Structure 1
């Protein structure tokens, strides 16, 4: 069984100005009170944004069409989950920013901002996909959508593409189904990652429907293998599982960080891209496959010059006892 994330990618980057300074606003996460977590970046020579200090509180950012947003307070979520610290427990709380998993903390690069108009409409009219310096050019939003993407009625979605599913095509899905592979959908709306600082993931909105919970539990009871397509699918599915690995329907916010110490309770394998050495996602990969298998897999990827990041290659990671090394397969 393959568990897939159906969250659609938003055109989450919008040009703006702070006084006379040009900025790029990355819209990351919608709070329950209508505010959005945003990141301000400076335009880069390559067309991608470069780091820029956020704030201060009260800062007004002028947006296209005469609109404005106002930065109100920094956003927390710098969750600490090193190899010896275990996991931060997952939640399914419907709470909003104040007193929730997204409570403010001083010094964060992301800020809660008040926006006078529905952000999805603003993004549809003026937005473009977020891109970073390792990409060579702008691409249309369709290049950032996976075959599993489903547009949400309220316009919510992911600030960045759940990219592990990008190599899938409709033809490939049909072929896998014809061979007896089941697909189970869930959603997790990704926020804006820190391409430079490699911060641990902060809380994100997710939903595991009852049909997916039933399918996963049935597959496990029958001795089947549950493979998550992407780290986002792992985070959502593990957030909906109890200590015995039974998955229950869940929706809300999750602050779960999967580490080797916490381990995985439901997922038997992971299809994912290649992550840089400082990336917090590597802790999740190690939790699935073990450190030695992960090391051998990355050595093979470097030797064969596989590609990193959203438009790079993906590889299948299985536990050490089932395979001697993770597979790396080209897009």
Structure 2
């Protein structure tokens, strides 16, 4: 475990329990810390993002749309909570099952006569593999009708699904919001376009980031479905050829891009499942910058951040963010990081 994982604690007051819209702000009014490897941090607001990018730079966004993955059912007389984590096939998922001992191969009854069967162990403990008794084309509609968003203990209310969507989300599949993109508004996207800052999309469907009881996913046991389209690979190649920056909006985007990257700095279209874990020893072939939220000390995302800036600098940044009152989690503030050769 890295030094950064052990060296800070988040005060409860910095857990963003309310979306910006419920704090009297617009989405793009959240605060933004800009971090470069060998310089002091800059403090701004996300609506000023265009000041930190140049004409010809490229923002790559994750267009995955959040589904409500929490379902409730019964196995015999026992109430069971099922939190979907990752689609394995159209009707099979890895899921966190919360309840007393659940019997394998016995049905869990859901609304409308639908059942799921627990098949056995999932990709990693405590996830289990489950199968739905639904026609393949009806799964998303069923989940949208009967599921609920994941609500963590720091949230003050059970927020509706719309609060867990980015404005550009279009491909259903994430069980938690790719939250780095939440602060974007259509107003800001239009401003970026007007200044010649380009955008492109990948898809990566996020899995559960937390398994309850202080249990976190292991990086290699956390595969996620992704796609880097040919059109996105092409615009990245063009951006790199012009010497401009490729900035990933979220750790999910970094994971997808670097999975599809070529060692010569190129990138190809790619799709499938990635278990790539990025840390300070991982070369970044494609990504020059990262826009992300502030992460918990237990989260493996901190390993990825150390691929952009050194561990010591990362720790200083987080301590400064705590001192200045930056907010954590899905509804919190953002951090824009540039790796060393992209400072200017």
Alignment length (residue pairs): 280
For 2:117 and 2:218, the matched residues in 1 are separated by 26
The CA deviation at 1:25 is 1.2
TM-score (norm 2): 0.77
Q: Residue 278 of structure 1: SS of its match in structure 2?
A: coil
Classify the secondary structure of the residue corresponding to 2:248: strand
Question: In the alignment, what sits opposite 2:88?
Answer: 31
**Secondary structure of 2:307 counterpart:** helix
Per-residue CA deviations over 1:62-112 (Å, capped at 9, x if unaligned) read: 212222111101112x5xxxxxxxxxxxxxxxxxxxxxxxxxxxxx11111
Aligned partners of 1:274 and 1:313 also within 8 Å: yes
- Structure 2: runs of 5 or more not aligned: 1-57
Unaligned residue ranges in structure 1 (runs of 5+): 43-51, 79-107, 325-331
Worse-superposed segment, 11-20 or 276-285: 11-20
3-state SS, counterpart of residue 287 of structure 1: coil
Matched ranges for 1:26-105 at <5 A: 26-32=83-89, 34-42=91-99, 55-76=102-123, 78=124
Cα displacement string for residues 26-60 of structure 1 (whole angstroms, at most 9, x for unaligned residues) = 12222236312111125xxxxxxxxx77x442243
1:9·1:161 contact (CA, 8 Å) conserved in 2? Answer: yes
Indicate yes or no: 2:130 matched with 1:113: yes
SS at match of 2:89: coil
Q: What corresponds to 1:19 in structure 2?
A: 76
1:199 lines up with 2:217 in the alignment: yes
Equivalent residue number for residue 225 of structure 1: 245
**1:253, 1:267 → 2: CA distance?**
19
Aligned residues of 1:39 and 1:109 also touching (Cα < 8 A): yes
| Whole-angstrom distance in 1 between the partners of 2:132 and 2:157 | 29
1:273 paired with 2:296, answer no
Between Structure 1 and Structure 2, which shows a larger proportion of helix residues?
A: 2
Distance 1:16 1:109 in 2: 19
Partners of 2:77 and 2:308 lie apart in 1 by 49
